[in-house]
Amino acid sequence: MIQKLRSRLAGMPRNSKRILLIAFDFTTLALALWASFCLRLDRWIPPQSIAEVITILSGPLVALPVFIRSGLYRAVIRYLPERALLTMIQAVTLSVLLWVLFAFLSQMFGRQVVPRTVPIIYWALATIIVVGSRFAAKWLFWPSNRNAKNRPSIAIYGAGEAGTQLALSLRASHFVVGFLDDNTALHRREVAGLRVYAPGHLPTLIKNYGVKQVILSIPSLTGARRRELVASLAGQGVKVLSLPGATDLVTGRYLISEVREIEIDDLLGRSSVPPDPELIREMIIGRTIMVTGAGGSIGSELCRKIAKWAPQRLVLFEANEFALYQIERSLTDKDVAIVPMLGSVTDERTLARAMSEHSVDVVFHAAAHKHVPLVEANALEGIRNNVFGTLAVADTAFRLGVKNLVLISTDKAVRPTNVMGASKRWAELIVHQKSEQARIGGTGQRFCAVRFGNVLGSNGSVVPLFRQQIAQGGPITLTDPNMTRYFMSIREAAELIVQAGALSQNGDVFLLDMGQPILISDLAQNMVRLAGLTVRSEDNPDGDIEIVSIGRRPGEKMYEELFYDNASAERTRHSKILRSTNTTIAALDTALAKLRAAVDSEDEVAARQLLFHIVAQSDKMPPGAQQDL
């Protein structure tokens, strides 16, 4: 019987449920007031006059507007939290006080006299009826919600179609307290049985319902608006999750019920551009691809992307055994032949064997030592790997007729102040030299470099460090609060690298559009907010995570550049890829011989001097010029 009644009540329209509850309150409050008089006068008789009837009915007539104003008829009983107890008691207390005022005025006009203890009895009975009826109904008719306090309380930002579907999907596993929406026309209304609140109402929901998570359910949200929302929501101590983008929902990559944590790269404000299928086909499909540094952050993402685009064979070249094992294991489910090769890029014999045995068509040279302070402290090894490793790869590829070589460079190669940046600039010069030899020899080979800034989440970058520091409770250490860097997601970088290779003509340096530089301090604050925490500062001494400055490390610049000369950058057919003409150094072979001698003799001072001397000379030359050193 209870099951049938439960099903009938659950199937009733929301307005019908509200009318039923109002009728119940009117009847029971009238009975409670009559019982209060009977208990005080010790006689159980019905009202004997019109004045007594008016006095009895005045109780619920005064109470109902108060209850409506207090929101007692907006709350969904099945999701009623224990915190609503205080609201109900306050509403009953206010209604009784207003009724006492009404009764006092009635006495002044010579109507029913009300004993002073009646309001106290009435307040007690009304509280028991109002509070008890709600929680009894919740317990009796919706037993599955008895453990609602054990389910996470969430609010959904966006009361549109995606939001309503998400609410229906999550109700079984979460306590959905309601919607937040910017549309003022929806405020104080209900969608899918849930109240729609203004975004400014979130602190009240946190206090009354213990909301810990807010899910953004606006698939078409722009990057700039997403940043604003995450900053405002996460700053209130809640964790912000996100519904997948509209494209992912339409293509079926995600379901409407699947939410994910917002990653820091979601806040870059970058508009993603789908890969150009013609560029991908020209560079990858049906060809044998080799990636050096295949187990690194950029190299492994390149391998994952390339494996999806149907190459004939993918050769993984990596010096780290465990890293090679990991990337090979992650590609076992791909429908492509995977060839793991263990070796160093400074070993020309191993490189030659990898390229010749498998008839490699394209080489993506991602192997490099990239951590600025570590390379600064180990300059000779950094030069040996980054400069002479690139020389070995380029020489071998040129000699064996590899059709395309793409060097993964860095913005630190522009006016470098550290060994890592200077060594990558040498690598760019080496690749350009080989492209000139291919042009002069008419081999049809195309060699190029792709230069970009920091990749979020790459090995040795600030993002994994900040995540670890946040997990440990802080503090987050910044080298300088005013330092800026360019950032892009690792997925976008990998896609653009492949497409840039297809655009290569003759020794180009391609520059990826990195957007605007970001303050490292802003990055740290955003990561704290994404973790559902607050930043400890002078204005907020009770915050969770402190951010401290420790000073710049050796070789670090306050800001990075992508261009030597902005005017030399040209647009390509891809909106996110720019082309810059490289510099030719005719005596590069002589400089390389001198640098190798310094490295072999472990003369770090001489190696550093020569390293930066060549870079300084190339920096002074206009793009496309040729210099004899």
Per-residue pLDDT reduced to its tens digit, 346-402: 999 999 999 999 999 999 999 999 888 899 999 999 999 999 999 999 999 999 999
- Rounded CA separation 427/160 (Å): 52
For the segment 513-525, what is each residue's pLDDT rounded down to a tens digit? 766 777 778 778 7
**How confident is the model at residue 255, as a pLDDT?**
42
Task: Identify the structural domains of the chain with CATH numbers, from first to last.
Answer: 2-145 (no CATH), 151-262 (3.40.50.720), 285-455+488-514+561-624 (3.40.50.720)
Dihedral sign, Cα of residue 250, residue 255, residue 257, residue 261: negative
| pLDDT at position 144 over 60 | no
Angle between helices 419-441 and 588-600 (to 10 degrees): 140
Question: What separation in angstroms does the CA of 595 have from each of 458, 578, 612?
Answer: 30, 31, 11
DSSP tag of 144: G
pLDDT at 394: 94
Q: What is the DSSP letter of 154?
A: E
Kindly state the average pLDDT of the residues 443-465.
78
Q: Given a cut of 90, is residue 606 above it in pLDDT?
A: yes
Length of the chain in terms of residues written: 629
Within 10 angstroms of residue 459's Cβ, the number of other Cβ atoms is 14
pLDDT of residue 600: 92
Taking Cα atoms as reference points, which of 481, 470, 482, 464 lies closest to residue 534? Answer: 470
Tell me, letter by letter, the H, E, C secondary structure of 589-607: HHHHHHHHHHHHCCCHHHH
pLDDT at 133: 79
The pLDDT value given to residue 210: 79
φ, ψ of residue 317 to 5 degrees: the values are -110, 120
Spatial distance between the Cα atoms of 228 and 266, rounded to a whole number of angstroms: 12
Q: Give the pLDDT band (50/70/90) at residue 312.
A: very high
Please give the sequence-ordered ranges of beta strands (E in DSSP) within 158-197, or none if there are none. 175-180, 190-191, 194-197
Q: What is the mean pLDDT of the chain?
A: 79
Tokens 């999701």, residue? 79
**Which neighbouring-strand residues pair with 290?**
315, 363
- Write down the pLDDT at residue 218: 77
Phi first, then psi, for residue 404 (nearest 5°) are -135, 140
pLDDT-above-70 percentage for the chain: 78
In this structure, are residues 407 and 299 in contact, taking their beta carbons and an 8 Å threshold? no
Whether the CB-CB separation of 30 and 57 falls below 8 Å is answered with: yes
Question: Would you say residue 599 has pLDDT above 70?
Answer: yes
Question: What are the tokens at 278?
Answer: 């013609």
- Main-chain dihedrals φ then ψ at residue 239, nearest 5 degrees: -90, 135
For residue 147, what are its two tokens? 């453990």
Q: Is 449 helix (H, G, I), strand (E, B) or coil?
A: strand
pLDDT the model gives residue 596: 93
Average pLDDT over residues 455-483: 76
Burial of 217 (0-12, 13-18, 19+ CB in 10 A): buried
Range with the poorest average pLDDT among 177-186, 340-349, 512-521, 599-608: 512-521
- pLDDT tens readout for residues 78-96: 555 566 778 888 888 998 8
Degrees, nearest 5: CA angle 374-378-381: 115
Q: If pLDDT is split at 50, 70 and 90, which confidence band does 235 have?
A: low
Its pTM surpasses 0.75: no
Query: CA nearest 614: which of 601, 5, 598, 600?
Result: 598
Range in 133-147, 326-340, 406-420 the model is least confident about: 133-147
Residues β-bridged to residue 292: 317, 365
So what's the pLDDT on residue 415? Answer: 84
- The H or E element containing residue 578 is strand 577-580
In terms of C-beta distances under 8 Å and separation of at least 24 residues, what long-range contacts does 605-608 make, across chains too? 607/379, 607/380, 607/383, 608/379, 608/419
At 525 the pLDDT is 79
The residues with which 294 forms a beta bridge, in sequence order, are none
Which position has the higher pLDDT, 56 or 557? Answer: 56
